[in-house]
């Protein structure tokens, strides 16, 4: 299944908290489970949000992976599906 994650870093994080967040991100990328694929990542031009498209077996897996970031980010997880067949007439 595909999941779109929209993340926003919480306001007023301390420098120490930003360091913790960076450490969590590095650990996530270094040890991503074999059954999870990162399909793409994007950031808003103003860096207010970032977006990740993950492929994972189920939403519980995504929630478990995202849980360590809860203290530092507000995250919305939306199951998505690819669409095809749309054309300009």
Whether the CB-CB separation of 73 and 10 falls below 8 Å is answered with yes
- pLDDT given at position 89: 61
Q: How far apart are CA 34 and CA 23, in angstroms?
A: 20
Number of C-beta neighbours around residue 45 at 10 A: 6
- pLDDT given at position 48: 80
- pLDDT given at position 58: 97
pLDDT per position in the chain (89 positions), as tens?
Answer: 999 999 998 888 899 998 999 899 999 999 999 999 999 999 889 878 889 999 999 999 999 999 999 999 999 999 999 888 877 66
CATH 3.30.1220.10 assigned to 2-80? no
- pLDDT given at position 68: 94
Tokens 């519980």 found at: 60
Domain range list for the chain: 2-80
């Amino acid at each position: 299944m595909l999941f779109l994650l929209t993340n926003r870093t919480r306001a007023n994080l301390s420098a120490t908290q930003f360091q913790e967040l960076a450490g969590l991100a590095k650990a996530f990328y270094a040890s991503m489970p074999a059954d999870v694929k990162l399909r793409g990542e994007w950031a808003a031009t103003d860096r207010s949000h970032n977006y990740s498209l993950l492929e994972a077996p189920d939403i519980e897996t995504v929630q478990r992976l995202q849980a360590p970031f809860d203290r530092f980010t507000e995250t919305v997880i939306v199951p998505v599906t690819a669409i095809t067949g749309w054309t300009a007439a």
